A = this chain, B = another copy of it.
């Protein structure tokens, strides 16, 4: 086992000073050609690499981004991480991942654990519990300490920072319009409770579309699922709620704010003898593996998670590397969405 050599051991071995070694390796003109050659050869031979931690301490920069998300077993979030990783790695940054599991407490702990010098900035999508508690002190304190935050998808209006979102209202309206255009007369929505910003906004878009088409909004057709935590664990609970929803509502079009709701609704609908898309047309939000491989393949809205990740990382790194960061106004980037036509809707859009 050969330990990583430090400047010191190279210096001792070559009988020069530490500074000389450091400078030689950085090709400083203060050092003679001959010495440089010797040092470089030695460094290569022993595979010298500067110690990152020491550099971080000296430069007060870790070149590491902290990403905190509700759960990682979730296609949308992983595509976002992919995007973040892609851009960050390109710029020489590492990515450290923290999971909140939708828990406020874990989110706070994660933030504090990383805010002590481990990272240069955060990219975060807020936990549902945090949203429902409306307690954002950990976020504002972090920003106060000079650590920039970028929020994506689930954002908080009251916190001033860079944000990357999709236009949930417009996009949802577009989806519902598609159902209307496809001949649906009775359109329902399966959403989340209002404290989840994206759920609220998507419901708003749903209402807007109905209004625009002079269709009366029926409250009972708006189902707001209350899953504070990991939704994958309470499939039965979800199914039950959707089942009673179908009992109480006769809909021929359904807009779901995520693919799990959509898929589950399709499953329940099938159990009730409905065929898709003939009896019921469905559109989901967020394109993931489920949508693509569902039966029938689900028409969904693609949020372009990869791009959202890239944009988030770009925003953060730009701010980190911009010397006059404080003056720079906060930006909110709205990533475009697309409807991906598959087989749960009748009207197929000709344009890709």
Contact = CB atoms under 8 A, between A and B. Distances in A.
Interface of A: 1-4, 47, 49-54, 56-57, 62, 64, 71-75, 78-79, 81-82, 85, 89, 94-99, 109-110, 112-118, 141, 144-146, 232, 235, 260, 263-264, 267, 270, 289-290, 292-295, 326
Contact of A118 (B53, B78, B295): B53
A12 to B, nearest CB: 19
Nearest to A297: B267
Contact of A232 (B62, B289, B290): B289
Contacts of A98: 85, 94-95
A146 B4 CA distance: 9
A95 B64 CA distance: 12
Contact of A116 (B52, B97, B289): B52
A104 to B, nearest CB: 16
A290 B288 CA distance: 10
Contacts of A326: 1
B96 A64 contact: yes
Contacts of A72: 72, 78, 81-82, 85
Given A1-B144, A54-B57, A116-B50, A96 B94 contact: yes
A161 B71 CA distance: 30
A2, A57, A95: residue with the most chain B Cβ atoms closer than 10 Å: A57
Contacts of A267: 293, 295
B99 A97 contact: no
B118 A1 contact: no
Given A72-B82, A72-B85, A96-B96, 4 more contacts: A53-B57, A72-B72, A263-B293, A264-B293
A305 to B, nearest CB: 9
Given A52-B118, A97-B81, A144 B2 contact: yes
Contacts of A53: 53, 56-57, 62, 117-118
Contacts of A96: 64, 94-97
Contacts of A235: 292
A340 to B, nearest CB: 14
